[in-house]
Every structure is written in C-alpha cells, then in structure tokens.
Structure 1
C-alpha cells in the first residue's frame, strides 16, 4: 500500500477529481491516508482514522513510506489548542486550526522526511476526565462559526464535523458523518436522562439521520445549522425561535463516555 500525509493547514476532500465537485470533508495537517488511485492532478485517498474516501489535489500532500511514518509518529501526540498555532521554518508558515493533531519531538518540531517545522502556539489541555466539566464551554466557544458543508474548523464547520472536533479534544474519536456517529455509543432512552455532552441525532422525512448536535443540558443544544447556534430541544426535536417552528426531528440521543 502507498500512503500520503497532508502538508498544508487545511485542504478540501472532494467527491470527484474536480474543483467544482462537492467538498465531502477536509484534511488537516498531519493526517495520514492510503493512496488508492493517483491521477495527473488528483489522488483518490482513504483516511486512515475514519475510512473516509475522497479526492485530494496533488501538491497538497506528500507521499510517505514506512520510515517516514515511524519517524513522525514517534513524536509526542498533541492537539492544537483553541487559540490555534503556527508551524514554521525558514520557508514555510502554516497557521493551524484548533483540533489539528501533531506529533512533536523533544525540540517541539514536526519531522516528515526532509520537512522539519517548529510548532509555536497553544496545546489542548483537556483529557477524557475533563469531559463533563469542560465540554459545554469548549462547544460554546464555537458559537456563530459559519456552517460549511464538509467543514472541520473554526473557519467553517458542519454538524458532524463539530461534534467530531469537540469530542476529539477529550480523547474520544468519532466517525465523520452523523449517521456513522449514531451507530456507536450508548442509547439515552429518555430526554430527562440527558447529560451535558450527549449527542442528539435527527432524521429527515425518509428516516435517514442527517443532523447531530451537542447537548448543553437536558433541554438545550448547540449545533451547526447556518451557523453554530444554541436552541431548545424536547422530545419532538429542535425548536428554532427565529423561525417559530421545529427545525429538526429528534431520532435518538447517544452517550460515549
């Protein structure tokens, strides 16, 4: 198998090998993937952490071998903190978004083959033990972030990218899409039993799960819909006060820790 790793801060992952095609997700710096099909301008890939498939433009990643991978992952794993950070050397400046995972050596550097970059910036301080006390505040720091289909950062995010990102800061890895996230975790059978940080899922008219949000308490949810917003939720679903109607129909609530 052949592998690649993203060498830019944040790049599109597209459904087809064209700029005009749908952006299904994004690839962050340092994320590793399997190369499935290399074409002159685009490469089909499979993300190793999530099995997500798509096309990345050539020039936005570097091919790596087993030695490169071992060298990189020998570093200490850290996550870029909420304030972001910078990777730099004499030629490059990469402004990294919150949630980017880095493997830093003792000199606080990322080494990928001949590429060596020093990290300067914030580091995520949360662990799984902090989830119940800190998840709401971290999620609310994203309020008013614009919705972006396929987005995974504070510059634009979709509903499942939001839940995936927030959970990753507490060492909980979720799949990419809402319906995939709903397939794991433990059911919360009653709205009255909801805890801070539980994920609520919503389906469309065909019964397909298409939306997810993070519960701030048993009747308040934060979710990405046009923007990251806070709404009321009950047994029926999310009630949007601005529209004076229910915007999403509740399907299930899940707990992951």
Structure 2
C-alpha cells in the first residue's frame, strides 16, 4: 500500500478530480490516508481514520511509506485546542484549526521525512468522562460559525462535520456523514429521555437521513444550517423561529456513551 499525509492546514477533498467538483469533505494537517490512484494533478485517497474517499490535489500532501507511518504514529497523540495552534520552523508557518490531530515528539515537533515543525498552541483538555459536563459549552462556542458543505472547521462547517468534530474532542470517533453516524449508537426512544450531547437525525421526503444536530437539553438543539444555530425541537422536528416553520423532520435520536 501507498500512504500520504496532509501537509497543509486544511484542504478540500473532492468528489472527482477537478476544482469545480463537489467538496465532499476536508483533510486536516497530519491526517493519514491510503493512496488509491495517482493522476497527473490529483490523487484518489481513502482516509485511514474514517474510510472516507475522495480526490486531493497533488502538492497538498507528502507520501509516506510504512516506516514513515510507524515513526510518526510513535509520537504522542494530541488534539489542537479550541483556540487553535501553530506549526512552524524557520521558513514555514501553518495556522491549525481546532480538533487537528497531531503526533508530537518529545521535543514538541512533528517530524516528516521532508518537513520538521514545532507546535505552539493549546491542547484539547477533554476526556470521555467529561462529555456530559462539557459538551454543551464546547458546542456553543461554535455558534454562528458559517455553514460550509463539506466543512470541518471553525472557518466553515456542515452538520455532520460539526457533530464529528465535537465528539472527537471527547475521544469518540464518528463517521463523516450524518447517515453513517445514525447507523451507530443506541436509540433514545422518547423525547423525555434525551440527555445533553445526544444526536438527533432528520430525514428528507424520501426518508434519507440528511441532517444531524447535538441536543443541549430535551427540547433545544444546536446544529449547522446556514450557520451553527440554536433552535427548539419536538417530536415533529426542528422549529426555526426566524422562518416560523419546521425546517427539519425528526427521524431518530441516538446516544453514543
């Protein structure tokens, strides 16, 4: 197998090998992937952590062999904190977004065969046992972040990217898309049983799950729709007070702890 690692802060993952193609997700600095197909300007990849597929532009990553991979992964894993962080050396500087995963050496560096950078910035402080007490505050810190199809950061995020990112800060790995996330977890049978951090999923007229949000309490949800926003929710779905109508139809509620 051939591998690669993203060497820029945040790059598009395209459905097809063209800039005009749909951005299905984004690849963050340090994310590892399997190389499936190499073309003149684009490379088809499979992200190792989520199995997500897409095309990344050549020049936005560095190739890794098995030894490179083992050496990098032998470092201490950390997540960049909410305030962000910086990787730098004498000639390069990368502003990292919250939730970026790095494997740091004892000298606080990331070491690639062609690149060595020192990390400066905060670290994600949360663990899984802090989920119930801290998840709402972390999610609320994203309020008014603009919606971006395929986005995964504070600079633009979509609904499933939002839930995936927030959960990752508590050591809980979710797949990339809402319908995939809905296939995991345990069903919450009744609205009255909702707990903070539960995920609510919504479907379209064809019954396909297309939206997800994080419950703040039994009838309040935070989700990415035009922006990260807070709305009321009941057994019918999300009620958007600005539009004075229901914007999303409830399908199911899931719990992951």
Q: TM-score range by the shorter chain?
A: over 0.9
Runs of 4+ in 1 over 2 A off after TM superposition: none
CA distance in 1: counterparts of 2:60 and 2:92, whole angstroms: 14
Structure 2 gap ranges (5+): none
* Number of the residue aligned with 1:158: 158
* Number of the residue aligned with 1:170: 170
Structure 2 SS opposite 1:79: strand
Task: Map 1:29-68; keep pairs closer than 5 Å.
Answer: 29-68=29-68
Offset of 1:113 from its aligned partner? Answer: 1.4
Structure 1 SS opposite 2:79: strand
Q: Deviations over 1:118-143 (max 9, x none)?
A: 00001000000100000000000000
TM-score normalised by L of structure 1: 1.00
Structure 2 SS opposite 1:166: helix
Structure 1 SS opposite 2:43: strand
Q: Deviations over 1:164-190 (max 9, x none)?
A: 000000000000000000000000000
CA distance in 2: counterparts of 1:194 and 1:50, whole angstroms: 27
CA distance in 2: counterparts of 1:241 and 1:152, whole angstroms: 26
Structure 1 gap ranges (5+): none
Task: Map 1:122-137; keep pairs closer than 5 Å.
Answer: 122-137=122-137
Provide the alpha-carbon RMSD of the alignment. Answer: 0.4
1:248 aligns with 2:224: no
Structure 2 SS opposite 1:130: helix
* Number of the residue aligned with 1:144: 144
Q: Deviations over 1:88-143 (max 9, x none)?
A: 00111000000000101110000111311000001000000100000000000000
1:10 aligns with 2:10: yes
CA distance in 1: counterparts of 2:137 and 2:83, whole angstroms: 14
* Number of the residue aligned with 1:189: 189
CA distance in 2: counterparts of 1:129 and 1:111, whole angstroms: 31
* Number of the residue aligned with 1:96: 96
CA distance in 2: counterparts of 1:112 and 1:128, whole angstroms: 30
CA distance in 2: counterparts of 1:114 and 1:46, whole angstroms: 22
Aligned length: 257
CA distance in 1: counterparts of 2:112 and 2:194, whole angstroms: 44
1:237 aligns with 2:237: yes
CA distance in 2: counterparts of 1:87 and 1:129, whole angstroms: 29
TM-score normalised by L of structure 2: 1.00
Offset of 1:30 from its aligned partner? Answer: 0.5
1:179 aligns with 2:179: yes
